[in-house]
Structure formats: structure tokens, C-alpha cells
């Protein structure tokens, strides 16, 4: 057996035997936010990008025992939500004053576009439950002028008789940091609207203006008018010049929330320094891919593109819609996108601390299996067979020299000059041990790897897969590390 495999087993043994999980009942509720962040405009009398609209998802598990397996409950259970300390929105935004003009519907106070309020119940959604369109703002009742983007909601599961089975406290993230003007970029709202081309019937005076009424946005389900193009295309295309002025999270945070909210807060950011561009590409990539057929909000990055098939979404599904081990949602164990566990924000970690005693990926088998933890590997063990073939399939050849690798090696491949790409090193189980970003200066490109992981520690002896990814093109090589 090679060293990395033994290491996995050791970790799993530690995880299963050292488990001193807090006392739990017969059921657990797993709950989370679908996206990790929802943006909204606090004031929309002039124009609106997004309304208050938040989505919680949940699953209820009847825990296993020595004689039974854990069971995901689909019926016989009701899930209620509330946001303690944040019971009204109507005085914290002008949304209810503009909803009729923008969406053509008269909404009762504190009721959002789907009919959900600040308290309510979840609806069944496949193997999950979902509460869609909660009109929450980032302002609690006690201090309605202080923005708090990471508030806790409370989710309670009850049986048909109304008795509580279990509860959970997901973050319901929302930010009003959508700042064309206060970012220091545009001098005023009038300036933005007056400079918009007078095309497609655009009238800067016909306020309030919903940008997505002409510019298609799958986020709002609008199809817009043909000549206007996708909102995401227009906004990222128009602001492409930012690529040459700024890099990293700071750039995207000019519009996405934001310098104060810093919505990218998960372990991949905090521990491994990933940026928005590492997964989404830069502004030019955001718009160019739409020109080439990408549907905004629908075609998004995938965990599998870097982590490989053993750690991928279900085929054709987004991360937030995917389930893995035993039908449990990826986000239930790993957290919302952009808030992958452990998160920088203590509130994001509250659920898993309550369930397993510490922050991080939900990994204590007993949380779901009770005292009947089955033999066999952890949540991803079943899909690890065939990792090697999958890593190399469909890829062009990449030359590794020297191979076997003692200290380090160099990879040589065909590349596209001037376009950003990344080299990923995965171990035999498919885990990412290193990512190196690079922009080739010429079409024949050589990149060195020092045989170390991101923390600078030499990787263990064994088989590794190196992949050079540039757009849709991948080159790959299998290398053997000897020590």
C-alpha cells in the first residue's frame, strides 16, 4: 500500500474513534444557504439590480443505529424558518414601495416575490427542502442602520404531531454592498443612467428601472430583449478595463459584496488563498465565455474541474443542486459556495460545531450513522476507484522530466500564449495537493513543480496526476514521486 492511502485510513480512524460529538437526538437537521451570498439593492427608486430574495435549503436525517441505516426524510416532517431579531424588512428598504412599478405585483408588507415572509415553512424540493424568496435584509431590528451580512436563521423540524425533532441555525447571508457610486467609480446614479445608450427604448427618466427587464438575467428569470444581451455579459464586458488595473478579490469586490462584506470567506480562500479569478476567470473571461455560449448563473465553475471525478458534482448539476454520499447534499457537509467549511465567519460554522463539536467539513460518521457506523471508507471512498484514468482521459500529453520525481520536475506542453491557465497536482485519491497559476509566454511552455504542496511540505511518495488546464483544453501526465 502506498503512503497516501495509509494516511487516509489513519485520518478516518481518528475521525471515527476520537469522535466526542455533542449529544444529539434521534434526528438531525442539516441546513444552509444555496449561494453563500445574496445581493440586494436597499433603495431602488432609480434602478434595481436585485430585490431582497434569499433561499435556504435543508435535509432532515433520522440517525442510524446499530441496527438501522441513516434515513433522509422526505415526508412526515415540517420545517419552519425564522430569523431571530430580524422580524421585519418593510422599513429597512424601499422594496415594497417600488415592487408594483418594477414587478407589477402588489406585495403585502414583508412578503417577498414568491409569497414567502420572514417566517414560514420550507417546501419539498426533491430530496431536499427549500424556502425560496425570503425577503430578508442585512439589518436587524435592534440596530437597523448597521449592516450585518451574516445573520443566523433558525430552522426547526417537527413531526406531524407538531413535536420538535431537531433544529439548526444556517446563515442567511445578504448584503446591500452593490455599489456603483459609493465604490468611488461612478459620480452619481444620474451619471450612470444618462450615459446608458438610448437603445431598445431605454429612457433614463422612466424610473424605477429594472436592468434585467431588458438585459436577460437567469437570476431573476427575465429573458429581456434580444438587442440588449445578457446583463452579466454587458456588465462584465463594459468593465473589462478593470483587469488591467486590479487583480484578485479586490477587483470583483468593486461590485460584488464587497470590501466590507468580503463574501468569499471559505477555507479555499482563507487557508489556500484562492481568488474569484481562480475559479471564474477574470472580467474578460466572464464576458467572453458568454459570447461563446455560456449561460450566466447556469454554467458556473465546478468542484470537479479541479478536484476530479471523486469529488465532483452530479453530472450536469450545479454544486448547490448536487448530492453525494448517501444522498446528502454537498452543501450540507461542505457549506455554501464561497463559504466552504471552515469559514472565516463564526456564524457559518455554528451548525457543524453543534453537530460534531468543531468547525470544518461535516465528517463525523456518528452524526448521521449513530452508533452503527458501517465499515468502509468515508463520504468519497466509493467514487475513488478509477481516479487515475479519469484524470488522464481526453487530455493531451504533457511531458514530465524527470519522472520518477525525486525533488521536483518540469512539465512541457503545448499552450496558448498570453492566456491564463493553471497546473493542478492531484494525488492518487484525486485530492488537490497543489495549484500553480501561469500565463504562458509562448506556445511551447515549460512549468516547474518543486514536489511540494501549497504549504511547502514535500509530498509523500506515490502516484500523482498533473493537469495543465487552459479554457477547455487539458494536458495531463502521471508522475511517480519517490523519496
Cα(215)–Cα(105) distance, integer angstroms: 20
In Å, what is the CA distance from 231 to each residue of 26, 49, 210, 326, 402? 47, 9, 11, 38, 48
- Candidate ranges 119-127, 156-164, 211-219, 400-408; the one touching ligand HEC (CB under 6 A): 211-219
Does 58 bind ligand HEC (CB under 6 A)? Our answer is no
Does 306 bind ligand HEC (CB under 6 A)? Our answer is yes
Contact 153, 85 (CB under 8 A): no
- Candidate ranges 120-128, 140-148, 166-174, 303-311; the one touching ligand HEC (CB under 6 A): 303-311
- Candidate ranges 161-169, 375-383, 399-407, 444-452; the one touching ligand HEC (CB under 6 A): 375-383
Cβ-based neighbours of 370, under 8 Å, separated by 6 or more: 63, 64, 65, 66, 70
Does 327 bind ligand HEC (CB under 6 A)? Our answer is yes
Around Cβ 314, how many Cβ atoms within 10 Å? 13
Cα(170)–Cα(151) distance, integer angstroms: 8
Positions 170 through 209 that interact with ligand HEC (CB under 6 A): 196-197, 199-202, 209
End-to-end CA distance of the chain, in Å?
15
Q: Which residue has the CB atom at the shortest distance from ligand HEC?
A: 326
Does 390 bind ligand HEC (CB under 6 A)? Our answer is no
Q: For ligand HEC, which residue of 318, 398, 400, 423 counts as binding (CB under 6 A)?
A: 318
Does 255 bind ligand HEC (CB under 6 A)? Our answer is yes
Q: For ligand HEC, which residue of 165, 219, 339, 398 counts as binding (CB under 6 A)?
A: 219
Does 432 bind ligand HEC (CB under 6 A)? Our answer is yes
Contact 331, 319 (CB under 8 A): yes
In Å, what is the CA distance from 92 to each residue of 117, 142, 475? 15, 12, 52
Q: For ligand HEC, which residue of 32, 81, 231, 465 counts as binding (CB under 6 A)?
A: 231
Contact 430, 384 (CB under 8 A): yes
Around Cβ 434, how many Cβ atoms within 10 Å? 20
Does 27 bind ligand HEC (CB under 6 A)? Our answer is no
Q: Which is nearer to ligand HEC, 132 or 434 (CB)?
A: 434
- Candidate ranges 123-131, 332-340, 405-413, 437-445; the one touching ligand HEC (CB under 6 A): 332-340
Does 313 bind ligand HEC (CB under 6 A)? Our answer is yes
Contact pattern from residue 411 through residue 430 relative to ligand HEC, giving x for each residue in contact according to CB under 6 A and a dash for the rest: --------------------
Q: For ligand HEC, which residue of 182, 223, 238, 437 counts as binding (CB under 6 A)?
A: 238
Cβ-based neighbours of 301, under 8 Å, separated by 6 or more: 279, 280
Provide the minimum distance between the beta carbon of 87 and ligand HEC in the complex, in angstroms, as a whole number.
27
Positions 343 through 372 that interact with ligand HEC (CB under 6 A): 361-363, 365, 367-369
- Counting beta carbons within 10 angstroms of the beta carbon of residue 160, is it exposed (0 to 12), middle (13 to 18) or buried (19 or more)? exposed
The size of the chain, in residues, is 483
Cα(356)–Cα(389) distance, integer angstroms: 35
Does 276 bind ligand HEC (CB under 6 A)? Our answer is yes
Q: Which is nearer to ligand HEC, 47 or 81 (CB)?
A: 47
Positions 441 through 460 that interact with ligand HEC (CB under 6 A): 453-454
Contact 217, 297 (CB under 8 A): yes
Does 305 bind ligand HEC (CB under 6 A)? Our answer is yes
Contact 177, 148 (CB under 8 A): no
Q: For ligand HEC, which residue of 33, 57, 93, 217 counts as binding (CB under 6 A)?
A: 217
Amino acid at each position: 500500500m502506498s503512503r497516501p492511502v495509509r494516511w487516509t485510513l489513519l485520518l478516518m480512524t481518528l475521525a471515527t474513534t476520537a469522535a466526542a460529538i455533542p449529544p444529539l437526538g434521534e434526528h438531525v437537521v442539516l441546513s444552509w444557504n444555496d449561494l453563500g451570498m445574496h445581493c440586494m439593492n436597499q433603495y431602488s427608486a432609480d434602478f434595481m439590480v436585485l430585490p431582497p430574495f434569499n433561499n435556504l435549503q435543508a435535509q432532515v436525517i433520522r440517525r442510524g443505529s446499530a441496527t438501522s441505516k441513516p434515513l433522509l426524510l422526505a415526508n412526515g416532517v415540517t420545517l419552519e424558518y425564522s430569523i431571530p431579531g430580524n422580524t421585519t424588512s418593510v422599513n429597512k428598504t424601499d422594496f415594497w414601495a417600488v415592487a408594483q412599478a418594477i414587478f407589477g405585483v402588489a406585495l403585502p408588507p414583508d412578503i417577498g416575490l414568491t409569497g414567502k415572509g420572514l417566517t414560514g415553512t420550507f417546501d419539498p424540493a426533491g430530496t431536499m427542502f427549500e424556502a425560496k424568496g425570503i425577503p430578508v435584509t442585512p439589518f436587524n431590528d435592534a440596530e437597523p442602520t448597521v449592516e450585518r451580512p451574516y445573520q443566523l436563521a433558525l430552522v426547526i423540524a417537527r413531526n406531524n404531531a407538531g413535536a420538535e425533532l431537531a433544529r439548526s441555525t444556517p446563515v442567511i447571508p445578504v448584503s446591500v454592498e452593490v455599489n456603483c457610486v459609493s465604490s468611488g467609480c461612478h459620480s452619481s446614479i444620474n451619471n450612470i443612467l444618462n450615459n446608458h445608450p438610448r437603445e431598445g427604448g431605454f429612457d433614463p427618466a422612466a424610473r424605477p428601472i429594472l436592468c434585467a427587464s431588458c438585459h436577460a438575467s437567469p437570476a431573476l428569470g427575465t429573458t429581456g430583449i434580444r438587442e440588449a444581451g445578457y446583463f452579466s455579459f454587458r456588465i462584465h464586458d463594459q468593465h473589462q478595463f478593470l483587469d488591467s488595473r486590479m487583480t484578485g478579490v479586490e477587483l470583483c469586490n468593486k461590485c460584488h459584496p464587497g470590501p466590507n462584506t468580503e463574501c468569499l470567506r471559505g477555507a479555499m480562500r482563507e487557508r489556500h488563498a484562492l481568488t474569484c479569478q481562480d475559479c471564474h476567470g477574470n472580467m474578460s473571461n466572464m464576458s467572453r465565455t458568454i459570447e461563446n455560449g455560456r449561460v450566466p448563473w447556469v454554467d458556473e465553475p465546478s468542484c470537479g474541474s479541479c478536484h476530479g471525478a471523486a469529488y465532483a458534482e452530479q453530472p450536469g448539476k450545479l454544486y448547490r443542486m448536487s448530492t453525494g454520499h448517501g444522498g446528502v447534499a454537498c452543501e450540507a457537509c461542505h457549506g455554501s459556495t464561497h463559504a466552504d467549511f471552515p469559514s472565516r465567519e463564526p456564524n457559518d460554522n455554528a451548525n457543524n460545531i453543534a453537530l460534531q463539536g468543531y468547525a470544518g467539513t461535516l465528517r463525523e460518521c456518528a452524526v448521521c450513522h449513530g452508533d452503527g457506523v458501517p465499515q468502509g471508507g468515508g463520504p468519497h471512498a466509493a467514487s475513488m476507484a478509477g481516479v487515475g484514468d479519469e484524470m488522464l482521459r481526453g487530455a493531451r500529453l504533457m511531458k514530465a522530466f524527470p519522472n520518477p520525481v525525486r525533488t521536483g520536475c518540469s512539465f512541457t506542453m503545448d499552450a496558448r500564449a498570453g492566456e491564463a491557465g493553471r497546473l493542478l497536482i492531484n494525488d492518487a485519491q484525486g485530492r488537490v495537493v497543489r495549484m500553480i497559476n501561469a500565463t504562458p509566454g509562448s506556445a511551447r511552455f515549460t512549468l516547474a513543480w518543486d514536489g511540494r504542496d501549497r504549504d511547502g511540505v514535500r509530498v509523500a511518495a506515490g502516484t500523482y496526476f498533473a493537469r495543465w488546464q487552459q479554457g477547455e483544453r487539458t494536458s495531463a501526465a502521471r508522475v511517480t514521486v519517490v523519496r
